[in-house]
Every structure is written in structure tokens, then in C-alpha cells.
Structure 1
Amino acid sequence: MYEWLLDLYVLDFFVDNHWEKLPSSWQENFDNLDPQELGKILSGKPSNHVFPLSFLALINSVKAFNIPRNSNYKITPDSECTNTDTCKSHPRLKNLFLKHVKLKKRHEISLMADVVTNIAKETDCNAVIDFGSGVGHLVRMLAYKHDVYAAGIESQGMLTEEARKLDLELEYTASKHLSKEAVMKLIRPTHFNVTLSCHDQLCHLPLASTMENYGLIGLHPCGDLGPLLLRHFTAYEHVKFICLVGCCFMKLTCEGENCGYPMSEYVRGMDHGLSYVSREIACHAIEVYAERLMKGNYEDLKVHAYRAALERILVTYDPQLKHSPVRSVKHSDTMTFEKYCTLAVEKLNMPMLFTPEALSCGASDLEQWRRVVTVYTLRLAVAPLVETLILLDRVLYVLEQGLSCEIRPVFDPKLSPRNHIIIARR
């Protein structure tokens, strides 16, 4: 019933007259509605506003079918250790693994390392391979702090070289506080510069003898890389577990035998189609957006209306300019629509677009900015179902291979919107 809502582009709001696509009762109810009320609906907070029954039915259906996103995961407390001659226990090395790491990444690698370490112990497998390892923050923590044999796979050579430099920097810092014997026992992670195109490639990595059996880690692998890792896990006995956090669902291939979605036979046998734009909205940060609405910080959300008003000008001038790759411009209260347009189309070099008539039409469109915010919010409210479908398809794929699998919301969704970890074991 609401597929059209997921499949529309907000930038086409004025070109395709999105407001008229809403049920008439919704139009009357939402028109001039304070966006704070929409924020309450998005976040599940009570509202005094009386919404249409059909809208409430949709919101409650989403809530019922959606995989819960709130995390109550707690990092395993350290057991009391009298030996402080380690990277993990020495008081002077408490923040050793957080250097050069941004807040979001600190949160993710700390929790991911804890989950992976616990699963490794449960499966009696003390080695892991991390895909899309970047500069190696996660494998560095697993190796030096948790004594796990870890290898990182990264397609960009510059990041691989930087990872090796950071390893040496960490060892240098550790050597100032640890004994020579402790430094000698440190497990250094391995870094590979490899671009994966099929899961069989992993069998040809020159891994150390300590990594004959291993687990797989995917912390927000892009597009089809996540499904590739799942296929490798299910195909080989020596891969004992996988911990996978999805990302970039819009980059999944959706056709062919080894496509990224759908993976399971069950979903393949259903009406499973998901458009690019529906998979793209499923990657947005719903909790952060809802919080901004509730706090009344929605003036800068007018940028969606600015872009939609600009789109009408572009298409009116030349239909071939539809969805032109304009520059992303951050909105501010002091920015005029004309200034926004000038910055956005700077690379197109088309100043003749902005005639007084065009700018007047744009200014008129901007008066409907609340409607644009409403339509975007409605799309975001339904988006978790798309992510749920993609994640459950992956779980079903693993279950169809006769292996155990589960989903846990682990990260704080306000910090890391893609916060579910798929965990499967042999």
C-alpha cells in the first residue's frame, strides 16, 4: 500500500506534486503541523495530536514488524587481573587504542571487539579476519588488547600502509610502559591490500599457521561485500563464525545468481523487489532526525525544500537536467534561496537559470517547506522495514545452510545508525 512512499525522491516534491499523493485525510491533518509532533511519532513518544487512523495503523505496523533498534548491550567487564604488564591492564595504556579514532568509531570498535572476542571464545577460535579494515583500528584492538590473531583486508593501499605505521606507533608507546618480555609477546595484526571480487579469493591469502581456522568480521562493509562474506562463511568448515554489520544497502546488486539481495531461497520465492531509493532511505539516521524534530531544531531541515525548489527550476528550464548532480550545500538561517542555488549549480555553470521569475517561483515553493519535511519524515518512518527485510533475508540464508544465526542491536543508533550485528556460528 505504501510502496510509493518509499520509492519517491524528495527532491521531486514539487516536480511530481508529492503532497497530492498523500491520502486526503493525511493532507488535511499534516498541513501546517508542527514538525515536533512528527518527531514524537518517529521516536515512539506520546503525542496529543489526533492523527488519522490509517496513519496510526501504518506506524504501529512498522513498529510490530521492525527489528528492535534500541541496544542494551554492555561490554563484558574485565576480570580482575593482578598482571598489569599487558596492553589491556596497564593503567598508563588505558586509552592506547583510542588514539587517532573518532567518537563514532571508538564506540563501534569497542563494542565490536567485545562481541567478537566473546564469540571467538565460545567457538574456540582465536583468529579473525576483518574486511574493509581501513587503517586497522579494530584489528589493532583485537590483537594487542584481546590477544586475538587478527588480519585486516583493505582494498586501498594507502590505508594499509597507514595501518602498519599505526601498529608500530602503538608498539613504541607500549614499550615505554611494559617489560621487554611483555612487548615480545604482543600479537601484531597482519594487513593485506586486496580487492575481493569473489569469496573463494579468501582461501588464497597467505595466512599464518595460527589462522588455519578463523572468524569473519564485517563492520559496515559496503554493498555486496557483506553477502560475499556470508557466502564464504557458509561454504567453508574452517570459518567458525561471522559477525557482520550491514551498510550501504543501496549499493547491493539485486539481480543474478550471486546478487546481494535477496540471498535466501525463501525471499527469492516472494514478491521481494526493493528499489534503489527505498534501500537508500533505509540507511538514514532515523533517531538523530527524530531528535532534531522534537527539539525544534528543524530550521536547517529546510535544505530538502531548497533542493526540491531548485529541481523544479532545473526541470522547467530543461527536462534533461532532471536529477543533475548538484553540489551539496549545508543550509543556514542566513542563506538566501538565490545564494543556495548559486552554490549548488556552481559546477554546471548555468547562471541564466535564475531569472527573477524562476527565483520568485522558488520562493513560493519554499513556503511549503513544512510539507517537504513531512513527506521526508513519512518515508523515514517506513524505512526500517526495508532494513529489516534485508537483514532477515541474510539470517534466513544462513539458516537455510543448516547453521545457527541471530541478530543483536549492539551499537547506540544515535551514534551508529546501522547498529545490528548478524552473528552466526558453526
Structure 2
Amino acid sequence: MTSKIENVKSNLEMSLKVIRMYDWLLDLYVLDFFVDDHWNKLPSTWRKTFEHMDPQELGHILSNRPTNQLLPLSFLALIKTIEALTILRGRQNQNINKKVTTTNLDSCKNHPKLKNLFLKHVKLKKRHEISLMADVVVGTALQSNCNSVIDFGSGLGHLVRVLAYRDDLYAAGIECQGQLTEEARKLDLQLEYTVKKHLSAEAVSKLRRPLHLNMTLSNHDQLRNLPLPDCMHNYGLIGLHPCGDLGPLLLKHFINSENIKFICVVGCCFMKLSCDGENQGYPMSRYVKSLDSKLSYPSREIACHAIEVYCERLCKGNYEDLKIHAYRAALERILVDHDPKLKHAPVRSIKHSDTMTFEKYCLQALERINVPLPTSPAVLRRGYEDLAQWRRVVVVYTLRLALAPLVETVVLLDRVLYVLEHGISCEIRPVFDPKLSPRNHIIIAKRL
């Protein structure tokens, strides 16, 4: 474990050094492109290279596809460094120790008529995540000799429903929205109604209905005093994309509770992490706290974007709708020139359309804040001159996005190191397809 800790520390230290070198790029807001002259913040060699480069070619470069472009050495060094330090995002072959599959058809798992039982009311992305998350949880529970799990932020209970009815685990879901908790219970009853049509009375009597609890979690005392049945005295913690500080809260509770045998958690919404105070969500580990580890809100926000999907769009040439970023940035300059207090005003989001004029965009965007659009020819002329630079806006946004996986790596490895510092085995796996589920890493820790 010592060598693993040192490797994680080394990766974190180098990653943060790179981030410090490019804070100026990560901290840019796209809507300030013209107000703050983002283009001229780029190194001169980068400007010369990307000025006339088709965004499609930039997509190829960031996707490690062959290119005939002559690139600045500083840019090549950055891309290769990011590639070397970033946690792998592509799905790996998963060697998960699952329970031996039986041929008993008198069960939710094997009856042919119940094959799609757990897919009802579940969208494609969620189906993908639930299926793979359940496999990881079941395998980890088996390794931990534990047959109970608690899912935090369980929503409609789709995951605990699979783990309870299909995989025979004692399962409980914790959800802060009372309406979702009630709907989860109704879905349980609907499932049981269907199951009774196909399974024997004996099999139905053995079904493990999940427990659904409605509560908002904010501290360890609430977690310690959960109203759980005796059969769930020892359990595993699971969290499928808990928002902001909830992921770190679960990890802290796992560390401080001997009766929790394992944890499987997938982070999300890094921009909502608290980064100061006693119970901060980042940084968590002692080591990262000792470094210059600041991650700004813009850097944590862009770390949640889908780089694979974005690069794929660039590679296919589907980037015309990205002009909308230039529309917004051009409007921002007009607003700030009109009244500096209007900087970052909450204008209405508008989808790009090839037939949309700049005037029409501005009128629709400003409806919400009731600010009249300046109509002087000089103002509109400048707006159209800004729009002509839309490819520059796409380039700067893309360069920021290239750094996003490195920021995510720092957040996730900080959590892994926090667990390792407490002497507990911990690993991180890219389990989901990043094109379907961009936050695709599961942190898995077990008490052995």
C-alpha cells in the first residue's frame, strides 16, 4: 500500500503543478471572451497555429488521431502531460467476482418473463449506469462478506430495486425529496404485482423489498442514527452520482464507521464542492491540503463536461451550433459597455439556429431581464464583427476542455488518497461508457 500511496501523491503533485501553470486558461468564462480579450491571453505560437485551423482538426488532435498539423512544442508537451497524468477514462474489462448464476427460473433474476422487469421507467443512460453499478456492488459485497447496502441519493429507487429483488441483498435507499421516496415505494409495489404473476408463492415470499427513507443528510450523526433493521447492522455504502459534498460526506462516514464494510461511490457536480471550512468537500486528504491545491469554481465546473462527446462532435464537423457561445460573448460585451453592472446578467439561454440573426438572438436573450438592446449601427456592427470570430471562441473553449480531465483526476485521487491515508484498501475504476455517462469512475474501498 505504501508504494500505491506514493504513486498517488506523485500524480497529484505533478497534476497540480500543471494546473497552476494553466490557471489563466481554466479560469476563463466563455461569455467574457471579448470583454477580457481571451484570444490574446493565448501564447503567440498557439494563436498562429489555431487562428486558421478547422475545429475539426483540433478535435482530431485531442482525440489522439493522426494529424498533419505542425503544433507548438509547448502545446504538444501539455497534451502529452495531461495524457500521462489523467486517470484512464475508457472502460476497462471488469473482473468482478459475482455470485454464481443459478438456473433457477423461479426468481426475478432468471425468469424469462421478467427479463425487462427492471428497465421500466428507466432512461437509457440510467439503465447503463444501474446495470454496471449493480454488478460492481454485488461483486464488492461478496468480497466483503456483506449482504446489505444503503444507497444515498436513491431517487426513484431504481438501483436498490435491482439489488434487492434481483440480487437478494438487503437494500435501503436514502432520498431527500419526499415525492421521489413515495414514487419509489409505488414502483416497488408495481414490480411485486408483476412478479406474482410469474413466480411461485414461495419465491414471492422470499423477495427482499427495499427500504426507502426520506431525509436530508448533512452530518455524521444523522448517518450513525439511521433507523435500520437488525439485518442491516453491517452494510455497504453506495452512491451513484451524489451531488457536491455528499460524495465526500459518504467517504468520511465510511472511514469513521467500523460497521460499514465497503463503499462504492461515483462523484458528480464538482463545482458544488465546498473548498474551505472544517467539513470541506475538497481537498480531503492530508497530503493535498499541504499543497497549493486550489481549484477554482470554473475549473471544477468544466471538469464535469463531456469531453468525449464534445471531441466526437468536432471530429465529425458538427460544431456549427457552437456559434451560440460567440453570440453570448458578443452580447456580454454590449451589456458591459452599456452598464458594467450587467456583467454576467442572467440572460435567457437560446439554442443556435442557422437562420437566427444577432438582433433576434439579443431580443430573445434579454427578455428575462427587461434590458433594451442598444440599436445604434456602431453597436450592432461591432456585434457582428465579434460573431465573425466564433471559431476563436470555439478554440479557447476546446483548449479549456482539454484540461478538464486533469482537474477531475485531482478531485478523484484526493478522495482515493484520503481513504488510503486511513489504512484502508481503495481503488478507482472507469466503469461506465464516458460517452453515455461522463462521470464514469467508481471509487471502491473495502475493509478486509
TM-score, shorter chain, exceeding 0.5:
yes
CA distance in 2, matches of 1:360, 1:79: 70
2:49 equivalent among 13, 23, 29:
29
1:231 equivalent in structure 2: 252
Q: Aligned with 2:212: secondary structure?
A: strand
| Other-structure match for 1:255 | 276
Q: Which of the residues 309, 312, 323 maps onto 1:302?
A: 323
Please tell me whether the aligned partners of residues 83 and 89 of structure 1 are also in contact (alpha carbons under 8 angstroms). yes
- Residues 148 and 234, structure 2, Cα contact 8 Å, conserved in 1: yes
Q: Which residue pairs with 1:41 in the alignment?
A: 61
Give the deviation of 1:375 after TM superposition: 0.2
Q: Distance in 1 between matches of 2:445 and 2:420?
A: 9
Query: Is 1:179 aligned to 2:196, yes or no?
Result: no
1:400 paired with 2:407, answer no
Structure-2 change in CA distance of 1:406 and 1:75 (3 Å): closer
Contact 1:200 1:232 in 2 (8 A): no
Equivalent residues of 1:72, 1:410 under 8 A apart: yes
User: Equivalents in 1 of 2:47, 2:421: separation in Å?
Assistant: 44
What code does the residue aligned with 1:114 have? D
SS of 2:242's partner is coil
Greater mean deviation of Cα atoms: 406-415 or 322-331: 322-331
Tell me which of 75, 79, 95 is aligned to 1:55.
75
How far the C-alpha of 1:314 sits from its partner, in A, is: 1.0
Residues 32 and 371, structure 1, Cα contact 8 Å, conserved in 2: no
Unaligned 5+ runs, structure 2: 1-20
Moved more, 331-340 or 404-413: 331-340
Q: Is residue 2:247 matched to residue 1:240?
A: no
* Alpha-carbon distance in 2 for matches of 1:46, 1:199: 51
Structure 1 residue 329 corresponds to structure 2 residue 350: yes
Q: Provide the rounded CA distance (Å) in 2 between the counterparts of 1:246 and 1:254.
A: 15
Specify the alignment match of 1:170 in structure 2: 191
Tell whether the 8 Å contact from 2:433 to 2:440 is kept in structure 1 after alignment. Answer: yes
Count residues with an aligned counterpart.
426
Structure 2 residue 84 is the aligned partner of structure 1 residue 64: yes
The aligned residue for residue 93 of structure 1 is 114
The aligned runs of 1:218-367 (5 Å cut-off) are 218-367=239-388
Please tell me whether the aligned partners of residues 147 and 169 of structure 2 are also in contact (alpha carbons under 8 angstroms): yes
Cα distance in 2 for partners of 1:397, 1:390 equals 11
| 2:362–2:373 Cα contact (<8 Å) kept | no
Which moves more between the two structures, 175-184 or 70-79?
A: 70-79
Q: 2:99, 2:142 within 8 Å by CA — same for their partners in 1? A: no
Which residue matches 2:14?
none
Change (3 A) 1:354 1:181: farther
Unaligned 5+ runs, structure 1: none
Residue 256 of structure 2 corresponds to residue 210 of structure 1: no
Shift of 1:3: 1.3
Matched with 2:181 is 160
TM-score normalised per structure 2: 0.93
Structure 2 counterparts to residues 57-136 of structure 1, below 5 A: 57-74=77-94, 79=100, 81-136=102-157
Q: 1:18 to 1:182 in 2, by over 3 A?
A: same
2:11 aligns to what?
none
Partners of 2:55 and 2:395 within 8 A in 1 = yes
Q: Distance in 1 between matches of 2:350 and 2:400?
A: 22
Equivalent residue letter for 2:43: P
In 1, Cα distance between the equivalents of 2:99 and 2:170?
20
Question: 1:337 and 1:75 mapped to 2: Cα distance?
Answer: 54
- Cα offsets for 1:354-395 (capped at 9, x unmatched): 544332221111100100000000000011111101111101
Question: Is the 8 Å Cα contact of residues 99 and 138 (structure 2) preserved in structure 1?
Answer: no
In the alignment, the residues of structure 2 paired with residue 44 and residue 331 of structure 1 have an alpha-carbon distance, to the nearest angstrom, of: 29
The whole-number CA distance in structure 1 between the counterparts of 2:82 and 2:251 is 27
CA distance in 2, matches of 1:223, 1:355: 45
1:410 maps to a residue whose letter is: V
The one-letter code sitting in structure 1 at the alignment partner of 2:78 is: L
Question: Equivalents in 2 of 1:145, 1:338: separation in Å?
Answer: 56
The equivalent position to 2:394 in structure 1, one of 367, 373, 378, is 373
The match for 2:218 is 197
Distance 1:423 1:250 in 2: 22
Q: Cα distance, 1:72 vs. partner?
A: 2.2
Q: Hey, what's the Cα distance between the residues in 1 that align with 2:397 and 2:301?
A: 13
Distance 1:172 1:356 in 2: 68
**CA distance in structure 1 between the aligned counterparts of 2:430 and 2:373, rounded to whole angstroms:** 51
